[in-house]
Amino acid sequence: MTSRRMKGPRSVAATDFLWDTVSGVLAKTMPRSYRRHRSRSSPGYTRRKRRRESSTPPSREYYDNFYSRRHSRSPVYHSKGRDRWAPERDFYQGSQYESRADYFCESRYSNFDSFEENSRYKDDSYYRHSSTGHHSSHHSHRRHRKRRKRHHHSRSQSHSNSRDRHEKKRGKSVEDDEEGHLIYRHGDWLQARYEIVSTLGEGTFGKVVECVDHQRGRKSIALKIIKNIEKYREAAKLEINVLEKLADKDPSNKFLCVQMLDWFDYHGHMCISFDMLGLSVFDFLKENSYQPYPLHQVRHIAYQMCYAVKFLHDNKITHTDLKPENVLFVDSSYDMFYNAEKKRDEKYVKMTDIRLIDFGSATFDWEHHSTIVSTRHYRAPEVILELGWAQPCDVWSIGAIIFELYLGFTMYQTHDNREHLAMMERILGPMPSKLIKKTRKQKYFYKSRLDWDESSSAGRYVRENCKPLRRYMLVNDKEHEELFDLISQMLTYDPSKRITLSEALSHPFFALLPPEQRLGRREHSHSLSR
């Protein structure tokens, strides 16, 4: 059959783009059309589809598949799934693009020619000349160029409008600094509820600000504002999950873990509100010129830490980031007194009630365990040697914290693994050969002994600044002996032989604790898995 070339709009009426009503075969090229792009929801589309189904040359499944190919997103986006773009996450985070969707939208349509080269439509029959088609190659290419221009214009306009809507939703006044912190001023409001009063602190995760909660009778609260960075957002979500589960098991807050009041997402910044607390035991120590706490205060703080962390362990949670900065006084009010011996004023905290904070790194027993956890100075040897860790690593951290409260300085002041291990051996004695044989970190050892040059400058530093544990005792009496016995058992190298917190709470060091400072005797499990 000799095909007749159709011109202008008449070709549209005579030749359907799916099924050639003249020749009765599948059309190979799209006809020229100056009409608005057809929508599946339009009445005309419904009538045409019903007419095709009644004549049934192509199956309904074929038509639906064809439509999906024509009107779905580009195969560039769908071809290999989400994980294909995982390596690019760092590229668009912190860049001009607010999200992965914005990045793809602009990169895919900013140069439509490159998009066409990567598209499966290049190999499709619509871009190939066929002797059975009703339009010449010349007309086909010209038509496609016009369609490409219209498509590029509509996509660019759509993307521009989408970006404008996103920026309008975020608000022009919401800005982040180069590190991802929210830029705010005192007096700013968040969620039409929280009025920012002052900055309380700053960390790698974000900032903590004091706010007035206008929905709680103008009560002062602490608001933790997480950086607008993906890894910190994910850590905040994990912390929220842990805090919600702990609140379910301890609604009256008997186990001394900080309770979350509320949380929300503020333009990419996860925000968590808490009751206002006092200074951390570290900040108070720092403001007091690193004067150590009296022994009876060390006893009460240590007892509460053991009690709170035992609650976590009973619920199959390891905190993994215990340090003095994460132990806060409920009220850090103090009295001043003059130290005649040192000829200076010193602070004496009135109440030593504490709360445990920062559950961003808390890990359930059944979850993936990161290789490295804990802040350096409070890191257990099994973590350094990459032997795997569990709840005993928290016990080690508590032992190092108690030592610091008692003396006013950290036990292991270092940032190097080999030097850290050398300090441990200097203070606690040689490391068991059992651990040395099991570790993959054999580079730190030679012939089952720590490979350490004591005559080097680093070796002299360790020898001059570290000494056997018992020689740190300030007073040689029974109370101090009991304290160092507890610390020694908490700092046992082998985690399987390290004292548990249940055993620690029954240690003789806590026998002199006043009755009003003793907490509930409930020893049964409060498992979150029940």
The residues assigned a catalytic role are 321
Query: For residues 133 and 136, what is the distance between their CA atoms, to the nearest angstrom?
Result: 8
Query: For residues 363 and 322, what is the distance between their CA atoms, to the nearest angstrom?
Result: 13
Amino acid at the residue 189: W
From 315, 322, 321, select the one nearest 365 (Cα to Cα).
315
From 216, 320, 302, select the one nearest 485 (Cα to Cα).
302
For residues 110 and 68, is the Cβ–Cβ distance under 8 A?
no
> Could you give the dihedral angle defined by the CA atoms of residues 181, 183, 188 and 190, in that order, rounded to the nearest 10 degrees?
-40
From 205, 208, 207, select the one nearest 237 (Cα to Cα).
205
For residues 208 and 224, is the Cβ–Cβ distance under 8 A?
yes
Token couple for 357? 């904070």
| Buried b or exposed e, range 43-80, using 16+ CB within 10 angstroms | eeeeeebeebeeeeeeeeeeeeeeeeeeeeebebbeee
**CB-based contacts of 521-528 (< 8 A; 24+ apart in sequence):** 525/314, 525/315, 526/249, 526/250, 526/255, 526/311, 526/314, 526/315, 527/314, 527/315, 527/316, 528/245, 528/246, 528/248, 528/249, 528/315, 528/316, 528/317
Token couple for 397? 């951290």
Q: Is 522 exposed, middle or buried (0-12, 13-18, 19+ CB in 10 A)?
A: exposed
Q: Is 350 exposed, middle or buried (0-12, 13-18, 19+ CB in 10 A)?
A: exposed
Amino acid at the residue 470: R
316 labelled binding-site residue? no
Token couple for 42? 């339009």
In the annotated binding site for ATP, the residues are 224
